[in-house]
Structure 1
Amino acid sequence: MDTAPDRRRFELIVIGASAGGVSALQALLAAVPPGLAMPILVVLHLPRDRPSRIADLLDLRCPLPVREAEDKQPLQDGTVTFAPPDYHLLVEDRNTLALSIDPPVLYSRPAIDPLFESAAEVFGAGVLAILLTGASSDGSEGVAAVRQAGGQAWIQSPDDAYSSLMPASALAYAGADAVLPLSSLCVHMKGLER
């Protein structure tokens, strides 16, 4: 299903990834348009017991500033914000992010489902959720929430993913608005605007 996604204007992009996600995120975030004036929030499954350097690593490739989230920070247009290790990243309201130490979801904290679900609750049809490679079913409930709220879900083709379980699980559970190889996701990312 390598079809062209809906070209509507979005208010918020949320991205989730796990196994194989660092290289997928390097490619996808390098394709972000330099003037993209909307927030991008990212959950990558991370080890809980050590600091993450992922924001620093991806800041080298992304044309937008990349940073790690802090509790109660403003939701910022033109910025990529990552969940820190051992905290769920949530959209608290249209202006604010929150960090949570609620229990892990499917053994992960940060987890993708809480981010996607909170984004859907606050931004509804203005959300674009992108689910990449991963080795768990985290993200399935979140993709369902985004789609039920009228937002869009783009999912990496399972046969293109480093680990197919996460995208395949989400497709089976919630479907998608587009299922694309990473290279096509990057092309469509370049075409986004607000």
Structure 2
Amino acid sequence: MAFAASAGGVQGLGEILGGLGPDLPVPVLVVQHLDPRHRTLLAEVLARRTELSVKLAQDQERVEPGTVYLAPPDRHLLAGPEGVVTLSNSEVVNFVRPSADLLFESVAGAYGSRALACVITGTGVDGAMGVEAVKSRGGTVIAEDPRTAQFAGMPQAAVETGAVDFVLRIEEIAAAVRGLVEDKRQ
């Protein structure tokens, strides 16, 4: 399960993660665009809003179900084979690092039809190419409804690809994710 957010994302991520419950049977990978010049408190902020464990991802870390792994500022987060994530300083993509596109493309490659990607509030187009990769591998894509998103750019760009399966208000996403995760496990 992978999420991408930018402007307005902390509030949206908090709401979604808070609704996922403590026993989520999959890991959650998150790209939230952050200012790389400052130490981030995002893990601490989100941990107060969810029963899931929340942490900054570490290079070559094996991911565990029920844990949220955040891309550190200025590092791409990539899902790899057998549940191991890597961090990269490679070039910025769509003017950002970490990049939702790279995360989603790596999730599509690692999980194929079991991949689940979600784009919520943010400016720009990061995530649009990545949702196409997820969809092309048989995965499922959710986008926050651009009409109700705090910032419509990222979810609108995702919707415009035609690769989005569900367009939902932020308060509907957690329940949809729980249902989809259960469906994909069977």
TM-score range, shorter chain: over 0.9
Greater RCO (Cα-Cα under 8 Å, separation 6 or more): 1
Question: Residue type of the partner of 2:80?
Answer: E
- Counterpart for residue 45 of structure 2: 57
Aligned to 1:169: 157
In structure 2, give the amino acid aligned to 1:135. Answer: T
Q: Output the TM-score relative to the length of structure 1.
A: 0.90
- Whether the aligned pair in 1 keeps the contact of 2:20 and 2:175 (CA below 8 Å) is no
Q: Which has the higher helix share?
A: 2
Structure 1 Cα separation of the partners of residues 177 and 116 of structure 2? 11
Distance 2:131 2:45 in 1: 27
Query: Does structure 2 conserve the Cα–Cα contact (< 8 Å) formed by 1:88 and 1:114?
Result: yes
Tell me the residue number matched to 1:184: 172
1:25-36 aligned at under 5 Å gives the runs 25-36=13-24
Per the alignment, residue 78 of structure 1 pairs with 66
In the alignment, does 2:78 pair up with 1:90? yes
CA deviations over 1:37-78 (Å, ceiling 9, x no partner): 211000000111111110111011111100000100112111
Unpaired segments of 5 or more residues in structure 2?
none
**For 1:102-128, what per-residue CA distance to the aligned partner results, in whole angstroms no more than 9, with x for missing partners?**
111111111100000001011100111
Q: 1:121-158: per-residue Cα shift (whole Å, max 9, x none)?
A: 11100111011011010000000000000000011000
SS in 2 for 1:135: coil
Aligned to 1:8: none
Identity over the aligned pairs, expressed in percent? 37
Map of 1:3-22 to 2, 5 A cutoff?
A: 13-22=1-10
| Structure 1 residue 186 displacement after superposition | 2.8
Deviation of residue 190 (structure 1)? 4.6
Q: Which runs of 5+ in 1 are unaligned?
A: 1-12
Aligned length: 182
After TM superposition, the runs of 4+ consecutive aligned structure 1 residues lying more than 4 A away are none
* Partner Cα distance (1:120, 1:74) in 2: 17
Shifted more, 144-153 versus 68-77: the winner is 68-77
The TM-score with structure 2 as length reference comes to 0.94
